[in-house]
Structure 1
């Protein structure tokens, strides 16, 4: 492409955002945090339509517009069309947060091809389609933009029983790094946020206060709150993060310092003694 380079130091305030998988957990917290920053938000859901509508009500509580759509990340390339429709409904796209994801806990020797495809399509191939579609909209609009992918600590370190998930999250990290290289000339930043254990439906902790849950294997001693991840994403979506790209922000309470097996499997604080 030969388009004139965007002045990355003076990109406009973001006005329109899309957050996939925003019917609960991290996605909901992110949608609300971006609305609090003054953005209208496109919200997608896969299985919980009412959850997405509840998120939309929270967004509207900040005086922002909310648009809701169903998105199945394994519907390739149909999921990209959802991004386009939401961007049209919002009137533009400045921030795209790829949060939709799926996990698995099956040993390598037992993973079926169907399970592998489901996880990799959701966490990597579908993410690629949606990210590419969002980037095309941003390049065309010539306003710069922010692409943020919710990854995992397993973007950086593997975990026993998570071969498909680990492969997809490693791939997502590489995809975002390449996006940062190629999209920088258009004023578009691309970063990942890599959470550790967060008290969300994916970890079976819906509506639990993470400060009441003990995790001896995590230096901070507890899981994270979805709003703690949303705060990192809200920063990356803001003008203050205009010089941050190609980075992976780990938000895990120190889990990676312990190794992902130790972080979630240690049952006592004995390790804290010298």
Structure 2
């Protein structure tokens, strides 16, 4: 155990409370993440540079899509958590499924929810599924970053016992100093992934539909698997085969799917969108 540990900043998980209603940091992270992602996507659509001309969709199309993807994130994230992480608990008490304020969301489930929203929306509008997916993945790390910060504020999903100088004692996690793994995930799954995708977009990745999706899946899977070495497994699951965690196991098919998207995107010639119209 280190001689000294960093104090855990005890921030109230409830940001604002008005009577029986409360706004929590976790809910705020979702709201702000979706809002900032929406604004970033609108900026990409309006710019001719990432597409080499006019974007293959309008900002109004993406405005409508935000509602679809929000529902996909929430439903997919919750259903994923129920199925992947705590099925027996929710099977015994199904009413607990709708109590989102108690926490319990799965990234991999939320990702599948986003996929469903992308496919259904694109087909309903006659738009490219891959293009909508690319835009969604390009902005998604913003929400991931804010969500992991909210996990840290809530003092949940803490790391394994550690003797590093920045270890913290988390409330409810016993007396042992632990890795602040939520911050590791915020940095790698959020900021680093956002920077990599932004560089890819600037280099012309949006001209190859599906490439940003593939890069997102591959980089996230690697970052998440790395962070799992420092994150304490969910107590109801513990370690799986050979010391693997559920986060690692779910990241394997995500990584393989990402490789498939990258290979397919690079095998096709880049799009030649229509030139932006002159005023």
The structure, 1 or 2, with the larger RCO (C-alpha pairs under 8 Å, 6+ apart) is 2
* TMscore range, shorter length: 0.3 to 0.5
The alignment's TM-score, normalised by the length of structure 2, stands at 0.33
**Larger of the two Rg values belongs to structure:** 2
The alignment's TM-score, normalised by the length of structure 1, stands at 0.34
